[in-house]
Amino acid sequence: MPKKTTISIIKCDVGSLAGHHIVPKPIFDVAEKNLKKASEEGVINSFCVFNAGDDLELLMVHEKGEQNHMIHELAWNIFREAADKASQLKLYAAGQDLLKDAFSGNVRGMGPGVAEIEIEERKSEPIVVFAADKTSAGSFNYPLFRMFADPMNTAGLVIDPNMLCGFKFEVIDTLEDKSITLKCPEEMYELLALIGTVGRYIVSRVWRASDDLICAASSVSKLSLIAGKYVGKDDPVMIARAQHGLPAVGEILAPFMHSYFVQGWMRGSHWGPLMPVGLKASKCTVFDGPPRIVALGFQVADGKIACDDDGNLLIADLFDDPAFATARREAIHNACTLRNMGEFEPARLSAEDMEYTTIQQVLEKLGPRFKPLDA
Ligand code: F6R
Ligand code: MG
Ligand code: MG
């Protein structure tokens, strides 16, 4: 059996500083301490703790496979301990995403978001991990489509003979709990018919069609559907493999040269422009946003994140780059345009998408005051 390596990113909003804005240092410390211990004990091989706004992100590289009990329990216990720390410090919304009390083998469906891929390492294995805040799971439909199906974004689809075969997309229908796999370019229009509805259909995995090589995975949790009410945002994560018969890192990043609109800004109830930022700007401020995304690039080598001779991880903060300044400017400009519209659609989500937000309580109060119109 060839040796396999798993990349897991598991995230959770356990409580934040100054509203829903940023993960503070004491929370990072809890995660670092526990992951260091797990790595010394050989449970994981490498880890990196970072944040996307108010979400604590645990990136772990190991050999235990996807949906592994030990790895998920490790993440769950870290989130619990971090949430306790957040409560002690009276951070805001401590334990927000921990929707269940007892761990039951897998963090899926319990609040935290997960993206995982198990791979057979190629000769060289470049990986990009994305994490976004103040947005929802369907926000990665658009860039995933552009990376793996749009020849105007990914030159390799036209130029690299290893990519001419196209890619397969697994799409989850989050309302009906069903999935379908569609192949591009043949079924591109059908794929777009589904994934343009970002509030319902979510691209969860992508494979290269010629050999079923796993290329990308994103988290698909919808917290509102787990809890049956508004409990915060899904704030998704995604992993993409790059190069040598797959989109180049540059093609994976190209969809973010321009800002695009995503659901989930302020109170999970507004459209907002997604802003690619480096880790130092990974904090949500104005109107609790604008929604932000960070991207980390690294090499997986021998079951680990590649490091230097002193054991320091070699990780690139990919959006910390003036090449994304236009997208940031566009995001701010579009944020101003939307905010000028206040509570009027399309700045606010449609009634259907507001179904799981707190506006329902406001509308219920008004219910009895409605009178039938005279015939
Ligand atoms: C929540 C979030 C925020 C909050 C908003 C109101 O994940 O990102 O936009 O929805 O700050 O929060 P509350 O109701 O807790 O005051
Ligand atoms: Mg929060
Ligand atoms: Mg968040």
Residue 110: the pLDDT is 82
Contact between 150 and 99 (Cβ < 8 Å): no
Residue 232: the pLDDT is 61
pLDDT, one tens digit per residue, over 308-330 is 999 999 999 999 999 999 999 99
Pick from 265, 288, 348, 358 the residue to mutate for probing ligand 1's pocket: most ligand atoms within 8 Å of its CB: 288
Residue bearing the CA closest to ligand 1, atom 5: 267
Tell me which of 106 and 26 has the higher pLDDT: 26
- 53 CA: nearest ligand 1 atom: 8
Average pLDDT over residues 351-360: 84
The alpha carbon of 261 and the centre of ligand 1 are apart by a number of angstroms equal to 19
The alpha carbon of 93 and the centre of ligand 2 are apart by a number of angstroms equal to 6
> What confidence category does residue 206 fall into, taking pLDDT thresholds of 50, 70 and 90?
very high
- 233 CA: nearest ligand 1 atom: 7
Task: Kindly tell me if the per-residue pLDDT of 374 is higher than 90.
Answer: no
The alpha carbon of 367 and the centre of ligand 2 are apart by a number of angstroms equal to 30
Average pLDDT over residues 80-96: 95
Residue 310: the pLDDT is 96
Residue 82: the pLDDT is 97
Pick from 90, 263, 267 the residue to mutate for probing ligand 1's pocket: most ligand atoms within 8 Å of its CB: 267
pLDDT, one tens digit per residue, over 118-143 is 999 999 999 999 999 999 999 999 99
Task: Kindly tell me if the per-residue pLDDT of 233 is higher than 70.
Answer: no
Residue 98: the pLDDT is 86
> What confidence category does residue 211 fall into, taking pLDDT thresholds of 50, 70 and 90?
very high
Residue 106: the pLDDT is 84
The alpha carbon of 151 and the centre of ligand 1 are apart by a number of angstroms equal to 39
Q: Facing residues of 207 across strands?
A: 168, 214
Average pLDDT over residues 299-307: 98
| Cβ–ligand 1 contact at 292 (below 6 Å) | no
Task: Kindly tell me if the per-residue pLDDT of 258 is higher than 80.
Answer: yes
> What confidence category does residue 230 fall into, taking pLDDT thresholds of 50, 70 and 90?
low
pLDDT, one tens digit per residue, over 176-186 is 989 999 999 99
Tell me which of 280 and 359 has the higher pLDDT: 280
pLDDT, one tens digit per residue, over 9-24 is 999 999 999 999 999 9
Report CA torsion sign: 195, 196, 199, 200.
negative
Gap between the Cα atoms of 46 and 38, Å rounded: 9
Residue 350: the pLDDT is 93
Q: Facing residues of 213 across strands?
A: none
| Cβ–ligand 1 contact at 267 (below 6 Å) | yes
Catalytic residue among 11, 13, 234, 353: 13
Task: Kindly tell me if the per-residue pLDDT of 227 is higher than 70.
Answer: no
Contacts of 198 (CB under 8 A, 6+ apart): 136, 138, 139, 141, 142, 262, 263
| Cβ–ligand 1 contact at 266 (below 6 Å) | yes
CA 248 to chain centre: 20
- 92 CA: nearest ligand 1 atom: 15
Task: Kindly tell me if the per-residue pLDDT of 108 is higher than 90.
Answer: no
Catalytic residue check, 13? yes
pLDDT, one tens digit per residue, over 33-54 is 999 999 999 999 999 999 999 9
pLDDT, one tens digit per residue, over 138-167 is 999 999 999 999 999 999 999 999 999 999
Residue 107: the pLDDT is 86
Catalytic residue among 134, 142, 222, 230: 230
Please give all residues whose CB falls under 5 A of ion ligand 3, grouped by chain where several chains appear: 13, 54-55, 133, 235
Contact between 294 and 317 (Cβ < 8 Å): yes
Residue 354: the pLDDT is 84
| Cβ–ligand 1 contact at 328 (below 6 Å) | no
Ligand number with the minimum distance to the CA of 234 = 3
Global pTM reads 0.96
The alpha carbon of 357 and the centre of ligand 1 are apart by a number of angstroms equal to 11
The average confidence (pLDDT) of the chain is 95
Pick from 11, 20, 223 the residue to mutate for probing ligand 1's pocket: most ligand atoms within 8 Å of its CB: 20
Contact between 112 and 10 (Cβ < 8 Å): yes
Residue bearing the CA closest to ligand 1, atom 12: 267
> What confidence category does residue 231 fall into, taking pLDDT thresholds of 50, 70 and 90?
low
